[in-house]
A = this chain, B = another copy of it.
Amino acid sequence: MPELTERQKTLLLLIIRDYIESAQPVGSKRLAEHYHIYLSSATIRNEMAALTEMGYLRQPHTSAGRVPTEEGYRYFVSQMMNQAELPASVQQTIAHQFHQSKPDVDQWMTLAASILAHQSQGVSVVTAPHADKAKYKHVELISTQGRQILMVQVMVGGEVSQQILTLAEPVSQERLSQTASRLNGLLTGLAVDAIAALPARSDALDQDILTLIVQDMRRMVDRASGEIYTDGLSNVLSEPEFAESDEARRALKLFEKGSTLQDLLARTTINSNVGGLQVLIGGEGEWEELRQCSIVLARYGVPGLATGTLGVLGPMRMSYARTIPTVRFVAGLLSDLVNDTIAGE
């Protein structure tokens, strides 16, 4: 259906840009006066009617200006997708912040969330890089008290999981350390399936821990993403479309119980490959809670080894021109960091 004439394209983009800035329906007259189009308002009206007919625009009421439809936004985004780049100065500032921070995943995620939120004036969402196919690297067992022990497990790539276990009976730290070192000798470099396939061990404690390790690795692989880092929540309230608190509350709830969010991010895992951006506009008919929102998502990391998701959520009227390049740039940066971290293995 790309029956858009050149003029219609320009007009459409202009209208959307104006609406994103002003948050108000844009009319033919305003358009004719404000921008240097050498067209009369009447002509513009005709074109607008056509664009409305085609489903790119919409009028809130008869005799109000036009507002982009979701389809309109989609066109807008597709147009700017390949073109927008973050100014070099901003790039430098951001990169600088990352290189100054400690080499700690937690720090990176927090920083990424903060930068995304500030740059885009939206709500940022970042998940930690996650090994698609976890390989065992190391386990430590530390007795904390009585029958409870702390198990710290490290994957190749540096992903860490800690968990508290309750054993059937108290075990001394020495015994735990021996068990751990035996298992470490045995399992290093193996994937979860290989470990599960090992023959049962003679020592009961060994066997118990082994089972738990497998469980834990499974859990790490299954949860598409663990904790979600987020920032800029208060930004949603600045947007006029969330002035009535009801709509805003719905959006906030998304972040309290992460299930919808998890769902959303999981989808991206499937559809999108590292490097590509994905923009979901108006919930895409799937997410009722997001009907008023858009999300710009990207996948980062090293495919097959460790990847994560990051993105920005905002009103459908969000500034894509700022958000898209920022998300892309930060995703690239994080990919590099992950790459560097893994490189040594």
Report if A6 contacts B (CB, 8 A).
Answer: no
Q: Mark A137-156, 1 if CB is under 8 A from B, else 0.
A: 11010111110101010100
Q: Mark A237-262, 1 if CB is under 8 A from B, else 0.
A: 11000110100110011011000000
Stretch at the interface among A40-48, A82-90, A314-322, A337-345: A337-345
A315 CA to B158 CA, complexed, in Å: 44
A344 CA to B104 CA, complexed, in Å: 33
Stretch at the interface among A15-23, A24-32, A226-234: A226-234
Closest residue on chain B to residue A145 by CB atoms = B344
A46 CA to B146 CA, complexed, in Å: 66
Chain B residues, Cβ within 8 Å of A342: 145
Report if A4 contacts B (CB, 8 A).
Answer: no
**Within the complex, what minimum Cβ distance (angstroms) separates A86 from chain B?**
24
Chain B residues, Cβ within 8 Å of A177: 181
Chain B residues, Cβ within 8 Å of A166: 103
Report if A272 contacts B (CB, 8 A).
Answer: no
Contact B173 A138 (CB under 8 A): yes
Q: Oligomeric state, in number of copies? A: 2
Contact B102 A164 (CB under 8 A): yes
Contact B248 A233 (CB under 8 A): no
Contact B103 A164 (CB under 8 A): yes
A248 CA to B244 CA, complexed, in Å: 12
Among A144, A232, A344, max chain B CB count under 10 A is at A144
A150 CA to B106 CA, complexed, in Å: 13
Within the complex, which residue of B140, B173, B237, B253 is in contact with A252, where a contact is CB–CB below 8 Å?
B237
**Within the complex, what minimum Cβ distance (angstroms) separates A150 from chain B?**
6
Chain B residues, Cβ within 8 Å of A145: 158, 341-345
A102 CA to B164 CA, complexed, in Å: 8
Within the complex, which residue of B154, B164, B242, B345 is in contact with A150, where a contact is CB–CB below 8 Å?
B154
A158 CA to B146 CA, complexed, in Å: 11
Within the complex, which residue of B102, B142, B248, B345 is in contact with A138, where a contact is CB–CB below 8 Å?
B142
Report if A79 contacts B (CB, 8 A).
Answer: no
Chain B residues, Cβ within 8 Å of A150: 154, 158, 160
Chain B residues, Cβ within 8 Å of A160: 150, 162
Report if A163 contacts B (CB, 8 A).
Answer: yes
Contact B103 A148 (CB under 8 A): yes
**Within the complex, what minimum Cβ distance (angstroms) separates A73 from chain B?**
24
Chain B residues, Cβ within 8 Å of A242: 245
Contact A344 B103 (CB under 8 A): no
**Within the complex, what minimum Cβ distance (angstroms) separates A230 from chain B?**
9
**Within the complex, what minimum Cβ distance (angstroms) separates A294 from chain B?**
20
A181 CA to B253 CA, complexed, in Å: 47
- 11 extra interface residue pairs, beta carbon distance < 8 Å, beyond A102-B164, A146-B344, A177-B181: A103-B166, A104-B163, A104-B164, A137-B142, A148-B158, A162-B162, A231-B256, A233-B233, A234-B249, A234-B253, A245-B248
15 example contacts (A-B, Cβ-Cβ < 8 A) are as follows A103-B148, A103-B164, A142-B154, A145-B341, A145-B342, A146-B344, A150-B158, A152-B152, A152-B162, A162-B162, A177-B181, A231-B256, A234-B253, A238-B245, A242-B245
> Which are the 5 A-B pairs with shortest beta-carbon distances?
A145-B344, A146-B344, A234-B252, A237-B245, A237-B249
